[in-house]
Structures are given as C-alpha cells and as structure tokens.
Amino acid sequence: MLSIITACCRPENIPIICKSIQFDKIHKWIIVYDTSNGRTYPKLYAGNSKILEVECMGGIAGNPQKNYGMSLVSDGFLYFLDDDNLVHPTFWGILESVEPEYFYTFDQAWAMKRIRLTGNNIKLTFIDTAMFLVHKRHVRDIQWKVESYHADGQFIMDIAEQNSGCHKYIRQIGCYYNLLSKKT
C-alpha cells in the first residue's frame, strides 16, 4: 500500500503530476494545499476516490503540509512528491520490489541541468524530498521540521538514524526534479 503526499502551492502543476501517477498502484494521493497568506485553491479531483485534497496553513517549503498529510495515513509506504516534481516511469517497477522492513532511496534526474542526484548519500543538501520511500512504521514520531528549508534531508536522516540497518539504496532514477513551474 502506497500513499503519495504532495504539499502544494502551485496548483497549475497538479494535473501534470497526476499524469505521472499510476493510480492502480497506490492507495491514495493526498494533496495538501498551503493556505498561508490567504491562498485558496479549487478542488480539482473532488470525485476521485484515490485523491484526497485537504488544506493546511503555515511553515516553509510545504513542511507543515507534509506533516499533516502523514497524519492522515495509518499504514503502508509514504512517498513525498513536491509540486514541482514528477514520478519517473521506473518508480513503479521499484515499488514492486519493496518490503515494509526497509526504507528506500533512489536517484533523481534533474531534467533541465542534465544531472543526476544519487540517493546513496543521506545528508543535508544531497537528497531531495522525492528521492525516498519510507514505510509508516519507520516514521514513528519523526516530523518534518516546519521552519527548515532543508527538512527533506533532515527527515530522511532522522529516519536512517532511528532505523539503523533498514536502508536500501536502489541505483535507479525514481523521480524528476524541477521539471515543472517554480512559481510560488
């Protein structure tokens, strides 16, 4: 079971992200709109039972929204997909081989710069939000740091620290970075 959590302040990207998701392989896509500063968003998928659109205020880089999204999931794998990232087609093959005893990291393609960020280096600024897949059992009480721009690295570092010996690196691209609009 997989739940995808997307913190969103760029709703124009959501339909494009939606096309990269294979809905038959997920339990739920949770889109958490950032309603800080009076922002409002249309509910694009109200009739789709696999998509939950909710709202949350505060913080930077979508961190409170990711925490809220996590609170809505009771079991299974969590995948955090920012609203300027896309799922790479190989991700769905990766998903077929995962086991709940482990959390996983994989590589990320930067479409515009033609570079690849590798998931074998779990450190601040070396790993991005969409480069890991973690089972809810590994999260425990770990939260995204609400006021930290580098919370993605810190989150997975905390997961690794509290779950020693449970990490598997998969040397494949699982996502694209900054392929979509960066407008905020």
- How confident is the prediction along the chain (184 residues), in pLDDT tens digits per residue? 999 999 999 999 999 999 999 999 999 999 999 998 888 998 989 889 999 999 998 777 789 999 999 999 999 999 999 998 999 999 999 999 999 999 999 999 876 656 666 777 777 777 888 999 999 999 989 999 888 777 888 999 999 999 999 999 999 999 888 655 554 4
Residue 107 lies in a domain: yes
Q: What is the CATH number of the domain that holds 11?
A: 3.90.550.10
* Whole-structure pTM value: 0.92
Instruction: Please answer whether residues 41 and 65 qualify as being in contact, where contact means their C-beta atoms are separated by less than 8 angstroms.
Output: no
Residue 68 lies in a domain: yes
Residue 24 lies in a domain: yes
3-state secondary structure of 173: strand
How are the residues of the chain apportioned to helix, strand and coil, as percentages rounded to the nearest 5? 25, 30, 45
122-159 residues labelled b (16+ CB within 10 A) or e (exposed): beeeebbbbbbbbbbebbeebbbbeebeebbbbbbbbb
Q: Work out how many domains the chain is built from and give that number.
A: 1
